[in-house]
Structures are given as structure tokens and as C-alpha cells.
Amino acid sequence: MTESAEFNERDAASYRYWIEEKIRFADLDPVGHVNNNAIGVYLESARVTLFADAAGKMYGGREGRQSWVVARIEVDYLKEMHYPGTVRVGTRIEKLGNSSIVVRQGIFKDGELAGLARVIGVCFDMQERKSMRIPDGQREGLVALAGPVVQD
């Protein structure tokens, strides 16, 4: 399947899947900016919610067989964010492999782009402690929620 429209990471309209996160006072660094750890949490929340929604239920945990692990994350911090407020995190699939996914994420505050991320995630078998094929149903859910995607 080939992506039908050009993806522009700086354009909110390019992202398909969205969550909203509240900026907490505890998210600030001593200078009063939202710190890099909090930004990582916003990005993680968007991915976890996407994976759970695509699976139709929460995945992983002690009872579950499948989870996702981050193999690589790149974050560009583009604009200061401050308390109070909310951010919107958009997610779009860049590539979907057999056991891995590459997602692009944008963080927007008050309609302005504040950060970008590119994340490589691996579908992980919690019992075998190794990568596993992305289940077909979840693959379909991911594409429906955050695609289309360019596949090899």
C-alpha cells in the first residue's frame, strides 16, 4: 500500500491519530519550560493509546503476551511550552514491518508545532522475551487509525 498524500511532519493535517494531554506543573524544569522527560511522556501516551486502540483492548501487562518496546527515538524540541495548558499529540505511521513500526509524531500547543519525534517500536513477546510478528488484527487497526503507510 502506498501513501496517497505527501506527509508533512510540520502540518497537523498530516497526522491521523490524536490524543490530548494536560500540562502539569510537575512537567516544568527550573526555567519554567515543559521538560524533555514530560515531552517523552506525552509521546509515549500517544503511542500506548494508539497500540491499545488498534488491538481493541489493552495489550501487555503480566497476563498479556504482547507489548511494544522502543528500539529508537529521535526528538526535536522546536518551541517552548509552558504551564498551564494542553498539548495535542498527532501520530502517523511511516513504515510497518513484520515485527516493527516506525511512527512520526508531532506535538502541538495552541495550534503551533512544539516538537517532532520519529520512533521505531518493536512488537515484543513478553513470554519469549523477543520480537514477534505484529498480529494481523492489530496491523489492520494500526493502518486504519494512523495510516496509510508505505510498506516494503
Rounded to the nearest angstrom, the gap between the alpha carbon of residue 126 and the centroid of all alpha carbons in its chain is 20
Q: Which helix or strand (DSSP H or E) is residue 137 part of?
A: helix 136-146
- Centre a 10 Å sphere on the Cβ of residue 98 and count the other Cβ atoms it contains: 11
Q: d(Cα 65, Cα 68) in Å, to the nearest integer?
A: 11
Q: Where are the alpha helices (DSSP H) in 18-122?
A: 36-55
Rounded to the nearest angstrom, the gap between the alpha carbon of residue 13 and the centroid of all alpha carbons in its chain is 16
pLDDT 10s digits, 30-66: 999 999 999 999 999 999 999 999 987 655 555 568 8
What domains appear along the chain, each with residue ranges and CATH number?
12-146 (3.10.129.10)
pTM score > 0.85 for this model?
yes
